[in-house]
Amino acid sequence: MSTSQHAHEQYGDASNLDARIALHARFSRNTVAWFPWVFDRLTLPEGARVLELGTGPAKLWRENLARVPRSWHVTLTDLSVGMIGEAKAQLQSAPHAFTFAVADAEELPFNDGDFDAVIANHMLYHVPDLSKVLSEVRRVLKPGGRLFATTNGEAHMRELDDLSQDVVAGGVVSAFAQSDHLTDFTLETAPGYLRPYFSELTLHRPQGDPDLYVTEAEPLIAYILSVTPQEVRKDKGKVSALQRRVAQALADSGEVRITRATGLFEARAPIG
Ligand SMILES: C[S@@+](CC[C@H](N)C(=O)[O-])C[C@H]1O[C@@H](n2cnc3c(N)ncnc32)[C@H](O)[C@@H]1O
């Protein structure tokens, strides 16, 4: 499958992403949910001009709507027409200054120095040419403006590989990362990518126990299927084998513990 076919299959609409976000939201023991935690890190002034790349269905804004200052000008962009359609449908009646655009992060349709902040959450590993995106981010940031970018660590969700051996050899999470992630932008590798473009770099990690403790089969199966190629999802034998394996894991210990490794990089564009 070509890269663009894959991206279309995965992100044509929000259903795959929603299945994954639902598992994180339901089975985390962290008292602070992910999107409020990310929003808390956006320490921006009144009147800030903010650009989000790869906004998806705009959960960051929907889940923090009551806290978004009305003085901010927020531009939400994504390569997927379906994602921008959904973001718009959810937010266009909000009393904030949101604007929406279908845009490729590699060629941003904005002027130099247009923004105080650029947000790129769980999307920098999708772009074929990361150095092109990072130089575009630096170009559209004001001097001293900041990039906020979330990503995963290498151990993230890897227990699901064991559970999904019958669906895809080697496990779906590893196979998905290989096919879906065009760039190896992880918590471990990100500093090497960011340092050539930005003058300061801070990694923020959520406090508390990051792991998931899953006690129900259905949301776990939905997550695994969301990262399984569509042609494999149609194979009833493989899906039944997955259901049996998940049921057995839950019967054995009452819950499936899944490692999560996530964080947010804050980086500053050089001044002058
Ligand atoms: C994993 S989702 C993350 C969505 C959202 N930022 C979040 O954290 O929930 C990745 C998003 O990046 C978008 N994307 C992939 N490649 C892109 C590109 N080159 N330019 C802009 N968006 C892109 C996808 O369409 C998808 O909506």
User: Structure tokens of 74?
Assistant: 């927020």
**What's residue 8's pLDDT?**
63
The DSSP secondary structure of 44-98, one letter per residue, reads --TT-EEEEES-TT-HHHHTTGGGS-TT-EEEEEES-HHHHHHHHHHHTTSSSEE
Whether 145 shows a pLDDT value over 90: the answer reads yes
Residue 1's pLDDT is 47
Tens-digit pLDDT profile for residues 215-252: 999 999 999 999 998 899 999 999 999 999 999 999 99
Q: Please give the single-letter amino acid code of residue 127.
A: V
Instruction: Read off the tokens for 200.
Output: 């300061």
Cα distance between residue 101 and residue 54, in whole Å:
10
Ligand 1 environment, Cβ below 6 A: 11, 17, 53-56, 59, 78-80, 83, 104-106, 121-123, 126-127
Average pLDDT, the chain: 93
Mean pLDDT for the stretch of residues 137-158? 96
Judge whether residue 177 has pLDDT over 50.
yes
Tokens, residue 267 = 């980086």
Element holding 97 (H helix, E strand) = strand 97-102
Between the CA of 148 and the centroid of ligand 1 the distance, in Å, is 14
State the Cα–Cα distance between residues 161 and 56, nearest whole angstrom: 25
H or E element in which residue 264 lies: strand 262-268
pLDDT over 70, % of the chain: 96
pLDDT tens string 66-76: 999 999 999 99
Q: Return the residue matching tokens 């290498």.
A: 154
State which of 78, 131, 136, 151 you would mutate to test the pocket of ligand 1, scoring each by most atoms of that ligand within 8 A of its C-beta.
78
For residue 241, how far is its CA from the centre of ligand 1 (angstroms)? 31
Q: Tell me the CATH architecture of domain 3-155+172-211+261-268.
A: 3-Layer(aba) Sandwich (3.40)
Tell me the chain's radius of gyration from C-alpha atoms: 19
pLDDT in tens, 180-219: 778 899 999 999 999 999 999 999 999 999 999 999 999 9
Pocket test for ligand 1, best of 79, 86, 147 (most atoms within 8 A of CB): 79
pLDDT number for residue 18: 87
CB 114 within 8 Å of CB 74: no
| 200-204 and 262-268 strand pairing | antiparallel
Element holding 232 (H helix, E strand): helix 230-233
What pLDDT score does 16 carry?
86
Q: Under 8 Å CB-to-CB from 15, ≥6 apart: which residues?
A: 226
Please write the tens of the pLDDT for every residue from 161-172: 999 999 999 999
Nearest alpha carbon, ligand 1 atom 24: 54
> To which residue do tokens 């340092």 refer?
195
Residue 39 identity = F
Q: How many angstroms does the Cα of residue 11 sit away from the middle of ligand 1?
A: 8
Q: Is the pLDDT of residue 272 over 90?
A: no
Q: If you ran DSSP here, which 8-state letter would residue 220 be given? A: H
Residue ranges per structural domain of the chain: 3-155+172-211+261-268
**Both structure tokens of 235:** 């194979």
